[in-house]
Amino acid sequence: MSAVSRQQEKVLQNQADAAPPRESSPTLLDEIMQHVLADSKCDSESYLRETDVPHGGE
């Protein structure tokens, strides 16, 4: 088996190993969601100013 094939097999195995979404750790996901919602309201305007990119890019 070629190195590429082994690599692809590993990737597919990683995917297969991935736990079913959501149900496995609802508490952690809920905690993060709560944190995100709380953090988003904190200093949001200054955060937006800090991340502004005048004139944009290419």
Partner 1 sequence: MRQRVVPARNRCSPRWRVTGASRVRLLNRLCGLETEYAMRFRPNEASIHKPSKFHLYRCLVGMLRQRVLTVPAKHFKEGIFIANGGAVWFEAERPASGAGLVEGSTPECRSPHDLLVYQRAQDRMLAESASAGTVNGQLSLIKNDRDSQGNVYGAQENYEATIATGWQLWIWRTGLVAIIPILLFAWLGLLVMIACTLTYLAVVAMLYLPLRIFRLWQPPVAIFLFGKDLATGQETGNPTPAWMEPIVIWFTRLVTAPLAGALLLLVRLSGFRQIQRQLLPFLVSRSLIAGSGMVDTYGNFHLADKAPAINCVVGLGGFVADRPIFNVGHFFKTLCGEACFSIREYFDLFHQRQRLQLGLGDSNMSEVSEYLRVGTTMLVLDAIEAGQLPSVPRIRRPIRALHNICADPSLQHEIPVSSAEKIQALELQRFYFTACQRFVDRQIDVPEEANQILAIWKEALDGLQELQESDGKSLQLLGKLDWVTKKHLLDSALSDTPWPALKKIDIRYHELSSEGYFEMLKATDCVTTLVDAKEIDRAMRVPPAGTPATTRGHYIREFSQEAARFVVNWKSVIFDQGEGTKRVRLSNYGKPSVHQPAQSFPDWQEQKE
Instruction: Judge contact between 30 and 36, C-beta under 8 A.
Output: no
Q: How far is the CB of 21 from partner 1 (least distance, A)?
A: 5
Q: What is the Cα 8 distance to its own chain's centre?
A: 22
Regarding 16 and contact with partner 1 (CB under 8 A), the answer is: no
How far is the C-alpha of 51 from the C-alpha of 47, rounded, in Å? 6
Is residue 41 a contact point for partner 1 (CB under 8 A)?
A: yes
**Where on the chain is the footprint of partner 1 (CB under 8 A)?**
4-5, 7-12, 14-15, 18-22, 24-25, 28-29, 32-33, 35-37, 39-41, 44-45, 47-58
